[in-house]
Amino acid sequence: MSNSLNGAVKILITLALALGIGAIFILAIGQSPVEAYGALVKGALGTKLGIGNTIAQFTPLLLTSIAFAVAASAGAFNVGVEGEVILGGITAAYIGINWGFLPVPLLYLACFLGAMAVAAAWAYIPAALKAYFNVSEVCVTILMNTVALYIGSYLVSGPMSAGTATPQSDPVLVTIPKIMKPSSANAGVFIAIAAVLVVIFIVYKTKWGYKLRTVGTNPTHADYVGINSKKVFINAMLLSGMLGGMAGCIEVLGVHGYYLDNFAKDLGTNGMLAALIVKSNMLFTPFIAFFLAVLKAGSMAMQQATDVPKSIVDTVSAIFIIIATMEFVVSLGKRRKMEHEAKAVANIGSKKPDDKKTGKEESK
């Protein structure tokens, strides 16, 4: 428990540092940081519309951040959540428009399952490439995001186009009800929270999750004790893909009611940001996702109320992440120093290139 308390304190100190550096930027352009941050918080949480916007921002971020964190807990750096969101969205739109023969409850189910299946299949590609051919998943997933974007864009401006000037599809037959009009917050937020709770339970409290975390911590050890690390790695990516697909489905059914080209812009990136800030700790990730949602929702109000451009918010979040990845905030003095040294030694040892191979030969 003291460990997670320690973690929370660290995050708060990091946050203060990031906001401080952001304040310097704001001062540099001759504005008042207090006013800017005040306007931001007021815009995000001060009005009913603001709270609605925050919830609307929070819903996809929660899912995408946990999607990233799940993959990370098995050692995968899945930048491809955005592509999964896009393909999940387009699948949900396709089923929602064309499968009217299904009764309504089943149609909802079909939209979600279809979106999750397609997104998981998409995530399988980089996962298998990494597991079997050791192709960097970072590279592949980033490039695949662009491919997914163009696939969605092609479908929505060609075969699935509604014929309007903006590339968008016909409206879907079922939508998720809005909960705080006129904002686009919708009941999808409850689905997202439920899904995330289930995933957290799976990862921390089941045998499957234990295998996942073992592979994430040390794949060689996992192989020794009889866990097929490659299979588990792929499974984690599949789960990650399913969460991304679900986010896409909720966006399409809940926010827009149709597929809008480029609707997933930055959803995956910001989810990744939230997860990276807390080193993919799934218990903290939702809080950071909420914090980022506040920043996003309030940034527009801040830009209107003051002369501070809203890109300052992205700058602050990026600084937040850079500082957060560093083991910067030293808390427990000596103990930490010792840990640090132990880690440095371990690091050098683990970078020995033929580590895995020699291990295998010895075991034979």
Partner 1 sequence: MDVFESLGKIFNVSLIYATFRASTPIIYAALCAAVTQQANILNVGTEGIMLVGAFTAVAVSFLTGSWILGVLAAMCGGAVIATIMAIGHIKYNSEICAIGMGINLFAIAITKFLLQVIFNTSGSFSDPGIDPIPTVHFAFLENIPVLNGLLNDWAFTEWFVIVFIIILQFLFYKTVWGLRLRAVGQFPMAAQTAGINVNAIKYQAILISGLVGGLAGAHLSLGYSTQFVENMTNNRGFMGVAAMYFGGANPALTAVGCLLFGFSDSVGARLQAYGFPAQFVLMMPYLVTIVVLAVSMAIKVAASKKKESSLITG
Q: Write down the least CB distance from residue 201 to partner 1, Å.
A: 26
Number of CB atoms found within 10 A of residue 28's CB:
8
User: Which of 243, 270, 271 lies closest to 84, judged by CA?
Assistant: 243
Q: Tokens for 240, please give them.
A: 């990650």
Interaction site with partner 1 (CB under 8 A): 25, 29, 77, 79, 129, 132-136, 138-140, 142-144, 146-147, 150-151, 153-154, 157-158, 269, 272-273, 276, 279, 309, 311-312, 314-315, 317-319, 321-322, 325-328, 340, 343-344, 347-349, 351-353, 357, 361
Please say which residue, 13 or 322, places its beta carbon nearer to partner 1.
322
Please say which residue, 205 or 231, places its beta carbon nearer to partner 1.
231
Please say which residue, 85 or 319, places its beta carbon nearer to partner 1.
319
Q: Write down the least CB distance from residue 310 to partner 1, Å.
A: 9
How big is the chain, counted in residues?
Answer: 364
Q: Tokens for 176, please give them.
A: 């998720």
User: Which of 294, 247, 277, 218 lies closest to 42, judged by CA?
Assistant: 294
Number of CB atoms found within 10 A of residue 258's CB:
20
CA distance 59 to 37: 23
Q: Write down the least CB distance from residue 51 to partner 1, Å.
A: 25
How far does Cα 142 stand from its chain's mean position?
14
Q: Write down the least CB distance from residue 204 to partner 1, Å.
A: 21
For residue 323, give the amino acid letter. Answer: I
User: Which of 207, 253, 243, 245 lies closest to 226, judged by CA?
Assistant: 207
Q: Write down the least CB distance from residue 128 to partner 1, Å.
A: 10
Please say which residue, 103 or 159, places its beta carbon nearer to partner 1.
159
Q: Write down the least CB distance from residue 186 to partner 1, Å.
A: 27
Residue recorded with tokens 């980022």: 292
Please say which residue, 47 or 146, places its beta carbon nearer to partner 1.
146
Q: Write down the least CB distance from residue 80 to partner 1, Å.
A: 11
Please say which residue, 162 or 193, places its beta carbon nearer to partner 1.
162
Please say which residue, 182 or 327, places its beta carbon nearer to partner 1.
327
Q: Write down the least CB distance from residue 36 to partner 1, Å.
A: 13
Number of CB atoms found within 10 A of residue 138's CB:
15
Please say which residue, 41 or 129, places its beta carbon nearer to partner 1.
129
Q: Tokens for 21, please give them.
A: 């550096």
Question: Is omega for the bond preceding 182 within 30 degrees of 0, making it cis?
Answer: yes
**Does residue 85 sit in helix, strand or coil?**
helix
- Rg, the chain, Cα only: 22
